[in-house]
Chain A
Amino acid sequence: MIAFRKHTGLVVPLDRVNVDTDQMVPKQFLKLLTREGYGKFLFYDWRYLEREKPNPDFVLNQPRYRGASVLLARANFGCGSSREHAPWAILDYGFRALIAPSYADIFYNNCFKNGILPVTLADAQVDELFRRTARQEGYALTVDLESQTVADASGLRFTFEVDGFRKECLLNGWDDIGLTLRYEDRIADYERRHQPQARPYGPLDGITSGD
């Protein structure tokens, strides 16, 4: 996993509440076998008109937000489907940090597994960032995971909360399977004690896999 320490980038405001992962990556793009290349599908149905003509009304297509790498969003961002294609697309598009008042659980978790920092700020703070982004073309923010702050060039500085374990993993880009495998003995021990309950009952009468 890629690490996240500190990032400065142009902010794009997505002023919609409850943005679901179906919008982030529509279903027709879930049939691929890789994790790469989803950036062009991000917000597909909002971003494009017929024949992939960019929709000029959609905020990501406005010239002033070209190259944005910080996504400013509203409450319950990433609700719905668990598809990790959503953070893959967000990352592949070029976003490194998200800022919103709240996130859906699975999506929030998925971001950390992909080197994206989802920053949670209070409603009023998010409102203020929306105002500043609208007012000032080229508005950029610096998101610093180490100090847990979001800051702009004119002195605004907000601090945010993040769980210590998640922070450590993201700062170091740790592979959490590797971390878990350090506990292999404990897992094996648990399996020995728990085995009779965990094992599916067999034989598998009447069950056919189809081939």
Chain B
Amino acid sequence: MPPLSMYEKIWSSHAVVEEPGRPALIYIDRHLIHEITSPQAFAGLKSAGRKARRPDLTFAVMDHSVPTKDRNLPLVDKVAAAQFDALERNCQEAGILLFDMQSPDQGIVHIIGPDLGLTQPGQTIVCGDSHTSTHGAFGALAFGIGTAEVEHVLATQCLTQFKSKPMRIGVAGRRPRGVTAKDLILAIIGRIGIGAGAGHVIEYAGEAIHELSMEGRMTVCNMSIEAGARAGMVAPDDSTVAYLEGRPFVPRGKDFQEAAARWKTLGSDPGAHFDRVVELDATEIAPQVTWGTNPGMVTDVTGRVPDPASFADAVERSAAERALEYMALEPGTRMEDIPVDRVFIGSCTNSRLEDLRLAASVLDGRKVARTIKQALVVPGSERIKARAEAEGLDRIFKAAGFEWRDAGCSMCIGMNADVLPSGERCASTSNRNFEGRQGKGGRTHLVSPMMAAAAAIEGHFVDIRQWDVHPVE
């Protein structure tokens, strides 16, 4: 047997049909659905007279347009309410477990999958959502699909797939203090570009990756799609096994021991082939802040807004000009001199307990600047919220001047009432700084939770490495 990459191992163990010249039929172990990309799939299924094949492998949650406060009140947004009703009805008819707005297990789909142990190494996981790449942190093959494919998976529990090319991103060395998983992945995307991963599945490796907690690995894998990759993955190790043990949907007892032993064999074989290899050095990475309208338009916090004239490529140059116009930024401005109006700590990239702890460690004993119009923290799930409250993190956030909300996508996408107003600037821990993403005309700067918290305190971006921050216990 030639040495195989982790991607190839999972692929071949899930290939139901593989014939030359055709895409393969891949079996799907976990299908996650939410209210936005599933109604048309269920409607299609119904109109063709088909049924959900494996409702027991399908899990649903309401996350994208849920309100993050006053959940006991009737929904103001009637269009969203109709979508919630549709999801509830569809799940009921098909026999799919749904975590609705009142469930203590509700949260962002990519947060609850791992948190409940639905996500496990070696699985194939799909969801009608591009950030499904998050689950790859466990050594699963996880990727986003369109609604037609959601319907296809509901009907057949399989997906017609072309094989991607394996790519390896190695990050050597140890992260400096104040540099987080978010900074690693932003630096990676800044280096390779937002289209570089197209057609590839990225395996992240190296000391800096394996030194990350599972939370950090999820942050890295989450943003694989921002580099254009189908999926991102990290080989399972002791941290993976320790994280999963005891979670609700994870095997127990002897089954767990067997599963854990199997999981540890999933990593790429020595000498496995990768179509592309990128190497970075973690010791050289600084806290990152985006200046433009895609995640690749990013620089060190100590850097400056670039001059579009410095881009050699004409198309890139005009994209940078357009971005600076939208962001209302002048070339040469120091990143640290950019003032912010709002701060958002949340999203499937950075709303796990570790993220909240890191942000709280910065906020402890400090106050949000008077110039900040709103500072919002939205935990990724109700379980995380409860755990954070048990640790007293909510008190730190509130004392600093943050609003403490219920779980959901919130201002990552602004489909509920949490919208960034036009012309305002937001330090956000989410994953996309696209035009209008957080609200029409809103200007997003992507940062880590620590950097977001520090920006809230100072009213502008600051280099968190200069601060004396102690972890909150």
**Which residues of A are at the interface with B, using a C-beta cutoff of 8 A?**
15-18, 20, 22-23, 26-28, 30-35, 45, 74-76, 79-84, 87, 102-106, 109-110, 113-114, 163-165, 175-177, 179-181, 183, 186-187, 190-191, 194, 197-202, 204-211
Given contacts A22-B432, A181-B156, list 14 more A-B pairs with CB under 8 A.
A16-B318, A17-B316, A22-B434, A26-B440, A31-B82, A45-B435, A76-B228, A104-B195, A190-B16, A198-B57, A201-B252, A202-B249, A204-B249, A209-B103
Q: Which listed residue, A20, A84, A165, A211, touches B102 by the CB 8 Å rule? A: A211
Residue in B146, B152, B157, B440 whose Cβ sees the most chain A Cβ within 10 Å: B146
Q: With A26-B436, A79-B228, A208-B104 given, is the CB distance from A33 to B415 under 8 Å?
A: no
- Shortest beta-carbon distance from B445 to chain A in Å: 17
Q: Identify the closest chain A residue to B315 (Cβ).
A: A17
Q: Can you pick out 16 interface pairs between chain A and chain B where the beta carbons lie within 8 Å of each other? A: A18-B319, A32-B79, A79-B294, A82-B144, A84-B148, A110-B147, A163-B162, A177-B48, A177-B151, A180-B152, A181-B155, A183-B25, A186-B17, A200-B56, A208-B105, A210-B100
B160 touches A180 (CB 8 A): yes
B319 touches A23 (CB 8 A): no
The secondary structure that dominates the A interface is loop
**In whole angstroms, what is the CA distance A127 to B39 when docked?**
40
Give chain B residues whose Cβ lies under 8 Å from the Cβ of A28: 415
Give chain B residues whose Cβ lies under 8 Å from the Cβ of A109: 145-146, 149
**In whole angstroms, what is the CA distance A154 to B200 when docked?**
38
**In whole angstroms, what is the CA distance A98 to B29 when docked?**
34
Interface residue B414 (Cβ < 8 Å from any Cβ of A): yes
Interface residue B23 (Cβ < 8 Å from any Cβ of A): yes
A105 touches B230 (CB 8 A): yes
**Interface size counted on chain B using CB atoms at 8 A:** 86
- Shortest beta-carbon distance from A179 to chain B in Å: 8
B315 touches A180 (CB 8 A): no
Give chain B residues whose Cβ lies under 8 Å from the Cβ of A76: 194-195, 198, 228
A177 touches B156 (CB 8 A): yes
**In whole angstroms, what is the CA distance A210 to B97 when docked?**
10
- Shortest beta-carbon distance from B384 to chain A in Å: 15
- Shortest beta-carbon distance from B363 to chain A in Å: 29
Interface residue B421 (Cβ < 8 Å from any Cβ of A): no
B103 touches A80 (CB 8 A): no
Q: Which listed residue, A80, A165, A210, touches B23 by the CB 8 Å rule? A: A165
Interface residue B110 (Cβ < 8 Å from any Cβ of A): no
Give chain A residues whose Cβ lies under 8 Å from the Cβ of B151: 177
B415 touches A187 (CB 8 A): no
**In whole angstroms, what is the CA distance A30 to B319 when docked?**
26
Interface residue ranges of B327-372 to A (CB < 8 Å): none
Give chain A residues whose Cβ lies under 8 Å from the Cβ of B16: 183, 186-187, 190
Interface residue B388 (Cβ < 8 Å from any Cβ of A): no
Give chain B residues whose Cβ lies under 8 Å from the Cβ of A198: 27, 29, 57, 123
Give chain A residues whose Cβ lies under 8 Å from the Cβ of B319: 16-18
Q: Identify the closest chain B residue to A210 (Cβ).
A: B103
- Shortest beta-carbon distance from A164 to chain B in Å: 6
